[in-house]
Amino acid sequence: MSQKRPNILLLFVDQLRWDYVHAYGLNPWIRTPNIDSIGEHGCRYENAYSPNPVCIPARHNMITGLPCKYHGFDDNYFGPSAKNCPWDLPTFAQICSDAGYSTFAVGKMHFQPERRATGFDRFLNMDEVVDDVMEDDYALFLREKGYGNLGSFHGVRNVLYQQPQQITLPDELTGSYWVADRTIDILRNRGEQDRPFLIWTGFIQPHPPLASPHSFSHLYDGKVPKHTSSITPLSRLCEELKCIADLPDEENINRMRENYAGAVSWVDYNIGRILQALRETGLEENTVVIFTSDHGEMLGDLDTYQKMNPHEPSTHIPFLMQWPGHIEPKTVKKEFIDLNDILPTFADLAGTQYPGKIELPGESLFAKCPQKDRSVVYAEHQSGDRRWCMIRDKRYKLIHYYGDQDQLFDLQEDPEERVNLLFNQEKNERVQETLERLYPVLKRYEEKWGLPECVQQGEFVDYPLFMLKSYFESCYPNQIKKLRNDPPFDDLADEVLAAIQDEPTVHLSKLHIRENMVQNGGYTDEDVDRLLDKAKQVGKY
C-alpha cells in the first residue's frame, strides 16, 4: 500500500452486460475504447458478478458491503412500498469520509431515501423517474437551460420502455453528458487538494429507455448479431419478463439491440472525457479508477428481456480497474469477484478497517492474505415463491427457484445457457455428480447470506409454483402532476412521436399503447385516440 493514499474514482453504469464491452472480446464490433483503456492500463476481471441483479439491491449491496438479509432490498421498491436503508449500516462513503476523504456522488445512485447522502459530502442527483423536480439536480439544470417543458428527458420510459428511440435534447444537455461535466467540474475545481477524494459517478445509460443521440443510435445499424433462443423451456420469471419489452417482431428486436449498443458507446464517449480530465489535472497517477455496472440486460437473448434473473447477460458484469504503479498494465484475472468486494476494497485503499459488527461477504481486491473463496460466486433475488438463488463455478451454474423448477447449465459446453440439463432428462453420471457437489454449496451460501428461514434443517423451504404477473412499464412522469408553475410540460403524444420519428421499426399500432396508457398512466381512451391520430399523420401508426 502506498504511503500516500490514492484517490478513488468509481465509474458506474446501469444495466450493462459484460460482453458489450469491447475489451472482453465476445463482441468485437462494439466500440468502447475509453472503457477498454482502463483494462489496458490496469486489470480486466473476466468473472465479475452482480450479487442481486436489480438496481436498488445491487447498489445497496455495494455501498453497505452486505446482502439484502441486512439492508432489506431483495428487489426494487418504489412508492408506498419503498423502504429505508438502515441508518446504522456503515457505507463505503462514510468509511472513506471518516478516514479523511472528500466524498462526492454524481448522477444516478438509487439510494432509499433518495436524498439521503449516505456519507457523501456532496450529492448531485439524477434519477430515472423524477418524483419532484426540486430534488433532481439534472432536472433543475434542464429548467435553467430552457428545457423545463420536457417530462421524459431521459427518453420516453412508459409506452416506449425498450423501444428504439432517440434523445430530443442537444448532445451537451443529455444526462450522460451532464454526469461527465459535473464529474469533470469536481476534478478541476475541488477544494482542499491535500485530501484524497472518492467520486462515485453514476450513469443511467444504457438502462432503458434506449435513447441516444442520433449519431450514436445508428452507429451499429446492421452490425449487431441476432438474439439467442433457448432450446429448453425458460423459467417462469423469464417468461414473465417477455411482456415488458413489447417488441412485436424480429426487425424491432434487432433495432432495439442496435440502440442499446449505441447507448453503450455514448457512455464510453463521456467516460473518455472524464479520463482525459483526470490526465490533464495530473491526478491519474494517484487515482484508482474502477469501471463496472450494477447488473446486465438480457436484450432478447434466450427470448427474454431486462435483468433480475440468474442468466449470464443479467448477472455477469464488466469490471476493469487501473492504478498506475500498483496494477500491472493488461493484467487479466479470472477468479470470481462481485460488487460485495467494493466496500472492503475502498476501506483498504483508505487505510482503514470496516467499523461494522456484521461479517462481510466480500473482501478487498488488494488483500495481502486473501480468505474469500473465489472458486465460486453466489447471487440471489426476491423473496417468497418468486425467490431464486444461484451458485456457479468455473464450469457449471446451478439455480434454485423457490417457486419453479431448478436449472443446471454447463457453461463450458453451453455458454449461452440454451439447454437446462435438468429439463425432462435422465440425470447422467456427470450431472448427478455436479448436483451432489453444488447443492450443498448453494444451501450453505443461502443459509449464511440469503434471507432468513430460506433454508431450514439444511434444506430449501418449499413454496408452491409462483403465478405469472405479466406487466408493462408503468412509470409516467410524476413531476408533471406536482409542479404548479410555468413552464407547461409537453404533451406525452408529442414526446412519443418526437422520440420515434427517425426509428423505422417503431409503429404505435403494433404496441400495447392503449392498455398501458389507460391501465397504468391514468389516461383516457380519448387520449389514446388522439395520440394514434397524430401517429397516422406522421407515418408512425
Residues 6+ apart with CB under 8 A from 328: 42, 43
Nearest 5°: the CA angle 495, 499, 503 is 150
DSSP state of 153: B
Question: CA 369 to CA 480: how far, in whole Å?
Answer: 54
Please name the residue that has the C-alpha cell 467520486. 199
DSSP state of 195: S
Q: Are 179 and 187 in contact (CB under 8 A)?
A: no
Q: Are 342 and 290 in contact (CB under 8 A)?
A: yes
CATH topology of domain 11-127+165-322+332-372: Alkaline Phosphatase, subunit A (3.40.720)
The pLDDT of residue 134: 83
Q: Are 432 and 419 in contact (CB under 8 A)?
A: no
Q: Are 458 and 443 in contact (CB under 8 A)?
A: yes
Q: Are 162 and 254 in contact (CB under 8 A)?
A: no
Q: Which residues of the chain have pLDDT under 50?
A: 1-2, 480-487
The pLDDT of residue 482: 46
Question: CA 347 to CA 355: how far, in whole Å?
Answer: 10
Please name the residue that has the C-alpha cell 469520509. 97
Among 150, 142, 127, 130, CA closest to 492: 150
Does residue 58 sit in helix, strand or coil? helix
Question: CA 104 to CA 96: how far, in whole Å?
Answer: 11
The reported pTM is: 0.96
Strand partners, 7: 287
Distance of CA 478 to the CA centre of its chain: 22
Among 210, 206, 107, CA closest to 156: 210
Question: CA 284 to CA 323: how far, in whole Å?
Answer: 8
CATH of domain 379-460: 3.30.1120.10
Q: Are 402 and 456 in contact (CB under 8 A)?
A: no
The pLDDT of residue 478: 60
Check for a shared fold between 11-127+165-322+332-372 and 379-460. no
Question: CA 115 to CA 126: how far, in whole Å?
Answer: 11
Question: CA 385 to CA 467: how far, in whole Å?
Answer: 9
Q: Which ranges of 294-449 does DSSP label H, i.e. alpha helix? A: 312-315, 342-349, 429-449
Domain ranges across the chain: 11-127+165-322+332-372, 379-460
The pLDDT of residue 503: 95
